[in-house]
Amino acid sequence: MTRMFKDVGQDIDDGKGMTYQKLDKGRSDSKRNSAADPMGPNSEIGRKLRQYYDELISEEVPDRFSQLLNQLQQQEQQGSTAKED
Amino acid sequence: MSASPSFRDGLLAAVPTLRAFAVSLAKNADRADDLVQETLVKAWDKQDSFQPGTNLKAWLFTILRNEFYSQMRKRRREVEDSDGSITARLSIHPAQDGTSDLNDFRRALELLPEDQREAIILIGASGFSYEEAAEICGCAVGTIKSRVSRARSRLQEILAISGESDFGPDPVTAQVTNSAAVL
C-alpha cells in the first residue's frame, strides 16, 4: 500500500497529466491474463474511458489555479510574519 | 509548519487530473472548476494533516469527492427539483472537439449513477487500485468492484443502443427514462 502510494505521488510530480497511462501499463503487464482488471487491456470500454479522460487531462489549465495557490501562499506568509510582530 | 514550496507544486501538478475527475463527477466544466478551486483551498487549509510521502493524488481526490457530494446534498435540499432541470443539465457539454464516437461515450458515461461513474473513472481512467478507490470513496473494495462491473455492463448496453439513433436531446431523454427504470 505504502509503496503504491509513493509511486503515484511520484507520478504526480512528473507533471503533465499522463499519470494513469504509466500505472495502466504496469497493471496490464502484471495482470494480463487475469480477470481482475474489469476493463481488460483490450476492452473497448477501457480504451474509450482512457481516451475520454486523456482528453480532459490534456486541456489547458486556466491561470486561476496557479493564481489561487500563489495567493494562499502569500496569505500564509503574511499571516506568519504578522504573528511574529 | 509553513507551506513548503513542494506542497504548492504538488497541488498545481495535480490540477489537470483533478479537473478531469471533477468534470466526470459534475458533468459540467464550470462546476468542475469551482470544485477544483474548493478542493485546493481545503487541501491548503488541511495540509498539516497530509503525510508527505503518501499518495497526494488520492488525498486530493478524496477531498474533491467529499466536496462534490456535500455540494450535491446542499443543492438537493435547495432545489427539490423537477426532472426537467436534470435532463437539461445532461445536454450541457463543455465545448470540446471530440469525435462523435467520444461524444457518444461521454453521454453514456453521464447516464450512469454517480457511484458507478466515479468507480469506473477511478479504476479505469485515473489509475487507482481497487484499494485506493475504496479508500477515496469510503467503502469496501468489494463495493468498488461491483460498481465498476455494473458501470461497465451499463455502458456497453447504452452504447449499443445509442448507435441506432441520432444523438439529440430526445434519445438522451429516452435513455434517462430507461436508466431510471433499469436502475
With CB atoms and an 8 Å threshold, state whether A69 touches B44.
Answer: yes
Residue A40 has a pLDDT of 67
Distance of CA B49 to the CA centre of its chain: 24
Taking residues B23-28, what's their average pLDDT?
Answer: 94
pTM above 0.90, yes or no: no
B2: in domain: yes
Question: What is the predicted pLDDT for the residue at B148?
Answer: 96
Q: Does position B176 have pLDDT exceeding 90, yes or no?
A: no
The strand ranges marked E within chain A are none
For residues B40 and B103, state if they share a domain: no
Q: Give the pLDDT confidence score for residue B78 in this predicted structure.
A: 79
Q: Which of B48, B81, B114 is where one domain is finished? A: B81
Together in a domain, B106 and B164 = yes
Report whether pLDDT(A4) > 50. Answer: no
Domain that holds residue A72: 42-85
Whether B86 maps to a domain, the answer reads: no
B58 with A8: Cβ contact below 8 A: yes
Do B67 and B8 reside in the same domain of the chain?
yes
Domain with B105 in it: 98-183
A/B interface, count of CB pairs below 8 Å:
140
Determine, yes or no, domain membership for A3.
no
Instruction: Give ipTM to 2 decimals.
Output: 0.75
CA distances from A52 to A66, B96, B125 (A): 25, 11, 8
- Strand (E) or helix (H) holding B122: helix B114-124
Place of cell 460498481: B147
pLDDT over 60 at B180, yes or no? no
CATH number, domain at B138? Answer: 1.10.10.10
Phi, psi dihedrals of residue B111, rounded to the nearest 5°: -80, -15
Report the pLDDT value the prediction gives residue A80, as an integer from 0 to 100.
74
Residue A83 domain flag: yes
Number of structural domains in chain A: 1
Same domain, B103 and B31: no
Q: Indicate whether A46 belongs to any domain.
A: yes
Q: Is residue A80 part of a domain?
A: yes
- The percent of residues above 90 in pLDDT, for chain A, comes to 33
Residue B114 and residue B183 in one domain: yes
Domain boundary among B31, B54, B81: B81
Chain A: nearest CA to B177, how far in angstroms? 23
- Total domains in chain B come to 2
pLDDT computed for residue B131 by the predictor: 97
Say if residues B41 and B74 touch (Cβ distance below 8 Å): no
Specify the higher pLDDT residue, B99 or B12.
Answer: B12
Yes or no, beta carbons of B19 and A61 under 8 Å apart: yes
For residue A50, tell me if it sits in a domain.
Answer: yes
Contact A8, B57 (CB under 8 A): yes
Q: What is the pLDDT of residues B32-90, one digit of tens each?
A: 999 999 999 999 999 999 998 899 999 999 999 999 999 989 888 877 655 555 555 54
Q: Report whether B14 contacts B57 (CB < 8 A).
A: yes
For residue A14, what pLDDT band results from cuts at 50, 70 and 90?
very low
Same domain, B105 and B179: yes
Q: Is the pLDDT of residue A47 over 70?
A: yes
* Digit-coded pLDDT (tens) for B107-154: 999 999 999 999 999 999 999 999 999 999 999 999 999 999 999 999
What pLDDT, on the 0 to 100 scale, is given for residue A18?
42
B87 located within any domain: no
* Distance of alpha carbon B145 from alpha carbon A16, whole angstroms: 29
Q: B50: part of which helix (H) or strand (E)?
A: none
Of A12, A45, A64, the CB nearest to B13: A12
Asked if residue A22 is part of any domain, the answer here is: no
Shortest Cα–Cα distance, B12 to chain A (Å): 7
**Confidence band, pLDDT 50/70/90 cuts, at residue A76:** confident
